[in-house]
Amino acid sequence: MSLAAGAGLEAAERAIRAAVLELGRAVLEPLLAADAGYRGPRADCGHGHQAGFVSCRGKTIDTVLGPVTLRRAWYHCAECGHGLAPRDAGLGVAGDTMSPGLARMTGRAAAVVIEAGAAAVAARQVVPMPAAGPAPDMLYICIEGTGVPVIAAETEGRDGKAEDGKASTREARLCCAFTQTAVDEKGRPVRDPRSSSYLITFEPAASPSSPPRTSAY
For residue range 79-106, list pLDDT tens digits in order: 988 899 999 989 988 888 889 888 888 8
- From CA 48, how far away is CA 200, in angstroms rounded? 41
- From CA 92, how far away is CA 78, in angstroms rounded? 24
Decide if pLDDT at 65 tops 80: yes
> What pairs with residue 57 in β-bridges?
72
pLDDT score of 213: 47
Total-model pTM: 0.50
For residue range 183-211, list pLDDT tens digits in order: 888 888 788 888 888 887 877 666 555 45
pLDDT score of 167: 73
pLDDT score of 116: 66
3-class SS at 147? Answer: strand
Q: What is the mean pLDDT of the chain?
A: 79
The domain limits of the chain are 30-97, 102-216
Decide if pLDDT at 214 tops 50: no
Decide if pLDDT at 53 tops 90: yes
* Contact in structure between 100 and 192 (CB atoms under 8 Å): no
Q: What is the DSSP string of 153-181?
A: GGGTT-B-SSTTSB-SEEEEEEEEEEE--
Q: Select the more confidently predicted residue: 123 or 22.
A: 22
3-class SS at 125? Answer: coil
